[in-house]
Amino acid sequence: MITQMKKYTFLVFHRDYEPFLTQLRELGVVDITLKSAGDIENDETLQAALQHEDELRRLIKQGAPDQMLQERAAIEQRIADAKQEAEKAAVWGDFDTKRIAELQEAGYKLRFFCCSEKAYKEEWGIVVANEGGKTYFVVVDNSASQNIDKSDLLENATELPQPAKSAAQWDQEIDHLKGLLAAADARIEAWKVANLERLEQELQEARQQIDWQRVQLSTDKLADGSLCLIEGFCPIDKEPELNAMLASAEVYYEETDPTAEDATPVKLHNNRFAKLFEVFTGMYGWPTYGEFDPTPILAPFYLLFFAMCMGDAGYGLVLIIFGLLTHYKKVNIEMFEGLGPIITTLGVGTTIVGFFLGTFFGMPLLEASWYPEALKHLIISGNVMGFDAQMVLAIGIGVFHICLAMVVKALCYTKRFGFAETLSVWGWVLLIVGGLIVVSVAALLNLPAQVTKWTIISIAVVSALAIYIFNKPGRNPLLNIGAGLWDTYNMATGLLGDVLSYVRLYALGLAGGMLGGAFNSIALMVLGEHPTWQWLPFLLILLFGHVLNILMSALGAFVHPLRLTFVEYFKNSGYEGKGQLYQPFKK
């Protein structure tokens, strides 16, 4: 839910302005209304502060000054180059470069060649190695080699540059460079110990200075600069603290309720469960102050969708363990930092739903002799009207999810724009949601056909009036009819596709279960009936297969529920997500 806000307007005498800002920052409950970036970001002082902040961020992220990093990179490049040269020199064996130089001074010039093994001729030179279908040989270029057909040699062989060092000498060079690299790393670590904490503190101070400057630039100066006007918003639960501070300050202020024209920030207030899923709301966009916070509905449905996409109770147990290890810092992976609780929650949901779907590490629980018969009756299986029961369940959940979105849209729009402006929205809710309810009740309670018929006709007539005639009060009826027809086209083409999108909940869970079962079958085939050493490949196949399947399933289970939420649900609920999060001016 969204916390109620109060709008405050402060009028401060210029001599009390900075002390008052200090008090506001110390209290830390008011979100100051800032002017647009175009109005304040061109200020030279602010630009300098922002550049300084960027430089601090970059330096902290790098973990060392540019010069140190460049020196380290240069050493790494020298090591890479030396390894390449060592590989090239290795084919020529262990040779003495000084001895080669002495031979050249004596008139014996050594030339290095390679060619295919089939093309090599013995009279060309001395074979050093045969590797990869190629012959590497040395030609002694002196008076005795004049009998060699040089044109034949150069045409069928490739001359290589003389190795500057032997492979052993290059290895010595690499060891020396690794020592330099270790020394460079030690200098970088020493720099971090000496400077990172100070830089973090300096970055915090730079951020505070930027916030201070933005507030100052957003303050309106009145009466030739004698008075300063500031606007901001405070959550209603923090109102007593702010009013107590204002009572002791020499400042005039007004406290009002925000209007639709105000850019009121939003502060979400949800229970511990829903709060875990606020990160997904933020990924799409925060609600505006007049909107409905989607998180309380997003949370249980995302958990359900994720669990259905994973579809395996065993994989849920793995997620629980991984989430707990991450939360208690036993596993430290940067991308999962702070996500331990939500991973654990998703694991619990996957475990519970997985038992209802009947899969445990790829094993079908209906066929497992060790699984209690009483629990097998809870597994969703069989066919409904010729379709797989789990697929029908996924479609049913989709229909309910979209109907809920339409009801939420009607309620939210009525609150924001009034009932008269939302008659069309209510017409569609009555037609689709009301029609489904009537049909469902008639089927379950076996209502008389005439009652069902006239109830549906009544719903259709009332809905048609709201959709085609009264969708925009005061507008030309012909325009209303046209708008209603266009709305009907969008509904007819969109709703079916939206509902069918929920088949992915069934398909992903089925695919993950089938792949897990396939790895189990392969492992059992390798194990055989009388295993001995086959236990090792059996375990390796199971481990590799299920780890791969968990990773792929988790990726799909993360992405596709977001898609169902961001596209199908948010579209049908009218959620815009263009709000700004409450960020109080504080230290």
254 found inside a domain: no
| Residue 404, H or E segment | helix 389-417
- Per-residue CA distances from 4 to 62, 145, 257, 266, 500 (Å): 42, 97, 9, 8, 38
105 found inside a domain: yes
Q: Which two tokens stand for residue 222?
A: 């009145």
Percent of the chain with pLDDT over 70: 98
In angstroms, rounded to a whole number, what is the distance separating the alpha carbons of residues 487 and 57?
A: 50
Distant-in-sequence, close-in-space partners of 64: CB < 8 Å, separation ≥ 6 = 72, 188, 191, 192
147 found inside a domain: yes
Q: Which two tokens stand for residue 581?
A: 């999060």
pLDDT for 212-257, tens place per residue? 888 888 888 888 888 999 999 999 999 999 998 988 887 888 999 9
What pLDDT was estimated at residue 146?
52
104 found inside a domain: yes
pLDDT for 459-501, tens place per residue? 888 888 888 887 777 677 778 788 778 878 877 777 888 888 9
Q: In 418-502, which residue ranges form alpha helices assigned H by DSSP?
A: 423-428, 435-445, 449-464, 477-500
Residue positions counted in the chain: 587
124 found inside a domain: yes
| Long-range pairs, 92-98, Cβ under 8 A, ≥24 | 92/128, 92/129, 92/136, 92/138, 92/163, 92/166, 92/167, 93/128, 93/129, 93/166, 93/167, 94/166, 94/167, 94/168, 95/163, 95/166, 96/166, 97/163, 97/164, 97/165, 97/166, 97/169
Range of the domain at 104: 96-162
DSSP β-bridge partners for residue 114 = 136, 158
What pLDDT was estimated at residue 149?
61
Helix (H, G, I), strand (E, B) or coil at 387: strand
Q: Which two tokens stand for residue 307?
A: 């669990």
58 found inside a domain: no
What pLDDT was estimated at residue 234?
94
Contact call for residues 2 and 267 (beta carbons, < 8 A): yes
Number of domains in the chain: 1
In angstroms, rounded to a whole number, what is the distance separating the alpha carbons of residues 439 and 434?
A: 9
Burial class (CB in 10 A: 0-12, 13-18, 19+), 287: buried
What pLDDT was estimated at residue 335?
84
In angstroms, rounded to a whole number, what is the distance separating the alpha carbons of residues 276 and 333?
A: 19
What pLDDT was estimated at residue 37?
65
285 found inside a domain: no
What pLDDT was estimated at residue 403?
92
Q: What parts of the chain have a pLDDT lower than 70? A: 37-39, 41, 142-149, 474
What pLDDT was estimated at residue 351?
95
341 found inside a domain: no
Contact call for residues 289 and 576 (beta carbons, < 8 A): no
- Per-residue CA distances from 46 to 96, 322, 414 (Å): 65, 44, 43
DSSP string, 486-534: HHHHHHHHHHHHHHHTTHHHHHHHHHHHHHHHHHHHHHHHHH-SS-STT
Please state at what angle helix 340-357 crosses helix 295-310, rounded to 10 degrees: 60
What pLDDT was estimated at residue 92?
86
Contact call for residues 249 and 563 (beta carbons, < 8 A): no
